[in-house]
Amino acid sequence: MAARIVCFGELLLRLTAPGAERLLQSWSLDVCVGGAEANVGVSLAAFGHVVRFASVVADNPLGAAALGELRRHGVHTDTVLSAPGRMGLYFLEPGAVRRPSRITYDRAGSAFAAAAPESLDWSGILPGAALLHISGVTPAIGANGAAAAVRAVKAAAAAGVPVSFDGNYRALLWEAWDGDGPAILKEILSCATYAFINERDIALILKSRFEDRQSAFEAAFEAFPRLQAIAATTRQQSSVDDQSIAGELVTRAGRWTSPVHELPGVIDRIGGGDAFAAGALHGLIEGRDGQYTIDFAVAAGALKHSIPGDFGRMTVAEVEAAMAGENLDVKR
């Protein structure tokens, strides 16, 4: 049964250097729409869920085009406001061989960043929702984004709507406005039911050191009583183009791990974590068992590495085929 899911965050335009070029090595850039929460929303819509995006975009042709792209992928945008200002941007320089990919943000002063924290009416957005999804990028954008994120998760908690939180710690964004990232993320995580975090995120938020991931997860469950499940990936890289990922799901009742997915010839890893989060949420919301949920999540994340752009454009059937190790013959 399809669940109604609300994703809250900034909708961005991504500008990518073509091929394996350095940024502005040639005077052209490929443009697509993205953003952490939007990426999750698009994947969940592809998995059959009813998804609404809550945000503020620029009241101009760029904002309109970005919303049109979300609608093209089945995401409802009636809970998005338009306001004077500009769209947030990020520039991607794709890595190659031993040169890592590099992202340059240009988000300061965007319509979303400038919006008052109380711009969105959560009393009208949350009724009937099965989940609110948010990431750590949103509060990192600035003081308004931080206040808006806290306000959103507190409204969800008060309304009895489960909160999904993806850590996504972005040090450069926090440093740009001298925000207290750990304190703000701790406040958000205190409202979360599901979290996509690892031992580094937990150490940062709890200001502690842990010997391993298991002890960090145990500390998180103790510190955050609302928290019911944590999912995380493990990535190995022999080069930018040749990687592998696996994942684990831990609840208060058990722990499940996925097989390793080898990823030779990576096309685009941006959004892979969001596809993983969407896959895990699909399993959790559908009431699937822990093994199916983590296997589905990792397979979804792995498939995203084959797709250019931010969005994971795959169906449940395609993800399940990847889970089963289906052969790679041409589908006719």
Query: Of 214, 182, 185, 174, whose CA–CA distance to 198 is shortest?
Result: 214
Q: How confident is the model at residue 201 (pLDDT cuts 50, 70, 90)?
A: very high
**pLDDT for 2 beyond 70:** no
Predicted confidence at residue 325, as pLDDT, reads 85
315 lies in a domain? yes
210 lies in a domain? yes
Predicted confidence at residue 327, as pLDDT, reads 77
User: Is the CB of residue 196 less than 8 Å from the CB of residue 276?
Assistant: yes
Backbone angles phi, psi at 237, to 5 degrees: -135, 125
Predicted confidence at residue 328, as pLDDT, reads 76
CA angle 57, 304, 26 (to 5 degrees): 70
Structure tokens at 123: 């009393």
How far apart are the C-alpha atoms of 228 and 191, rounded to whole Å?
Answer: 11
Alpha helix stretches (DSSP H) within the chain: 36-46, 61-72, 111-114, 122-125, 137-140, 143-159, 171-177, 181-189, 199-206, 213-223, 272-285, 290-304, 316-323
**pLDDT for 110 beyond 90:** yes
Q: Which residue has the higher pLDDT, 304 or 331?
A: 304
At residue 131, the 3 state secondary structure works out as strand
How far apart are the C-alpha atoms of 65 and 61, rounded to whole Å?
Answer: 6
| pLDDT tens column, 122-175 | 999 999 999 999 999 999 999 999 999 999 999 999 999 999 999 989 998 999
User: Is the CB of residue 156 less than 8 Å from the CB of residue 122?
Assistant: yes
- The amino acid at residue 82 is S
**Number of independent structural domains in the chain:** 1
Q: How confident is the model at residue 1 (pLDDT cuts 50, 70, 90)?
A: very low
Predicted confidence at residue 251, as pLDDT, reads 98
How far apart are the C-alpha atoms of 172 and 115, rounded to whole Å?
Answer: 21
What's the average model confidence in pLDDT over 264-276? 95
CB atoms within 10 A of CB 331: 7
Predicted confidence at residue 326, as pLDDT, reads 74
How far apart are the C-alpha atoms of 112 and 149, rounded to whole Å?
Answer: 12
Say which residue the tokens 């979804």 belong to: 300
How far apart are the C-alpha atoms of 207 and 73, rounded to whole Å?
Answer: 40
Pairing of strands 12-16, 88-93: parallel
133 lies in a domain? yes
Half-sphere exposure of 279 (CA within 13 A, CB side): 39
User: Is the CB of residue 248 less than 8 Å from the CB of residue 257?
Assistant: yes
How far apart are the C-alpha atoms of 170 and 145, rounded to whole Å?
Answer: 14
135 beta partners: 166
301 lies in a domain? yes
329 lies in a domain? no
How far apart are the C-alpha atoms of 310 and 114, rounded to whole Å?
Answer: 24
332 lies in a domain? no
232 beta partners: 248
142 lies in a domain? yes
| pLDDT tens column, 275-306 | 999 999 999 999 999 999 999 999 999 999 99
User: Is the CB of residue 152 less than 8 Å from the CB of residue 132?
Assistant: yes
Query: Of 73, 54, 67, whose CA–CA distance to 131 is shortest?
Result: 54
Pairing of strands 102-106, 88-93: antiparallel
Residue 14 is part of which domain span? 4-323
Structure tokens at 307: 């797709």
Q: How confident is the model at residue 331 (pLDDT cuts 50, 70, 90)?
A: confident
How far apart are the C-alpha atoms of 276 and 312, rounded to whole Å?
Answer: 10
| pLDDT tens column, 33-73 | 999 999 999 999 999 999 999 999 999 999 999 999 999 99
331 lies in a domain? no
Residue 16 sits in a domain whose CATH number is 3.40.1190.20
Question: Using N-to-C axis directions, what is the helix angle for 199-206 and 213-223, rounded to 10°?
Answer: 50
Radius of gyration of the chain (CA): 19
pTM comes to: 0.96
CB atoms within 10 A of CB 188: 24
